[in-house]
Amino acid sequence: MEQQSSDPRTIVITGASDGIGAAAARRLAGAGHEVVVVGRSAEKAEAVARPLGARHFSADFARLDDVRRLAQDLRRAVPRIDVLVNNAGGIFDHRELTPDGHERTWQVNHLAPFLLTQLLLDRLTADGAAVVNTSSVAARLGRLRPEDLGDPRGWSPHRAYGDSKLANILFARALARRHGPAAAAFHPGGVATNFASATSTPLRFLYRTPLGRRLMISPERGAETLVWLAEGTPGRDWRSGGYYEKKRPARTNPRAHDDALADALWEHSAERVGLGPSAR
């Protein structure tokens, strides 16, 4: 039985219909927090939310109009947000453009959570909320440079994924520095979930074979740092703008500490999702 929190919070988790998002939702709800489940599939989101007595919403992050609708729905239905967990994401085999004209990995993993956070930013700031971004050790593979943002040359599934996970860390760093909401990014570990289960990249040997899955951790263990960040107090338990693994500060790509790159990424992202100068 979960120990009840003495500081119950309202926690919105995207990508919560499976994997570490669903595991974190169950753990946090069991501790007495009000969890809001967001998933790409309405049916799967409802299946996670119903036993928890939680509200649920659906949005396909490959469609920015879905993200805009989700933000409106959250603003109407959720009076207060204490923590926004940007957890949705994926890795894709082939370079393809979304209906919005962006490379799919970049949009799903970075542009969509960037847009959702921006559309809720006034509420998050007023509520004194924290933002938690699910990143990955793959951020070490990221080679983001300001002049490369949006450049399709040299695309590969691993570089696209690494760039997007580096962007998750840079976004948390810039959010904390520019706008005030406490923010952090974290690596959950190699988790045995349905993530990348359809890929033909070498990751398939981890996610689709018995041996590979035995080398990985459970979604419940993978969710531990997410839960720790969501329940923790910035400035006391964790440092805003930081990157964490196993509930501790972790090393990552040196570019993750480049404030000029973080600012360039912010400007690029705001322009690409159609936000005005006030978001920059």
Query: From the centroid of its chain, how far is CA 271?
Result: 20
Closest CA to 26 of 7, 52, 56, 55: 52
> Is the CB of residue 33 less than 8 Å from the CB of residue 5?
yes
Spatial separation of the C-alpha atoms in residues 97 and 155, rounded to whole Å: 13
Count CA atoms within 13 Å of residue 163 on its CB side: 25
Show Cβ contacts of residue 156 under 8 Å, excluding neighbours closer than 6 positions. none
SS3 call for 175: helix
- What distance in Å separates the CA atoms of residue 207 and residue 195, rounded to the nearest whole number? 7
Could you tell me which residues come within 8 angstroms of residue 221 by beta carbon, excluding any fewer than 6 positions away?
189, 191
More confident residue, 25 or 210: 25
**Tokens at residue 144, please?**
């983001």
- How many CA atoms, within 13 angstroms, populate the side-chain half-sphere of residue 44? 15
The residue ranking higher by pLDDT, 273 or 203, is 273
Lowest-pLDDT choice from 49-53, 58-62, 215-219: 215-219
How does pLDDT run across 182-215, given as a tens digit for each residue? 999 999 987 555 554 455 555 554 445 454 445 5
Q: What is the pLDDT of residue 149?
A: 73
The count of residues in the chain is 280
Residues with active-site annotation: 161
- Mean pLDDT computed over 143-166: 85
CA–CA separation, 219 and 13 (whole Å): 15
Q: Note the pLDDT tens digit of each residue in 238-272.
A: 999 999 999 999 999 999 999 999 999 999 999 99
74-91 per-position pLDDT tens digit: 999 999 999 999 999 999
Confirm if 140 and 38 have CB atoms less than 8 A apart: no
pLDDT for res 211: 41
Sheet holding 34-39, edge to edge: 55-58, 34-39, 10-13, 83-86, 130-134, 182-187, 243-245, 248-249
Structure pTM?
0.91
DSSP 2: P
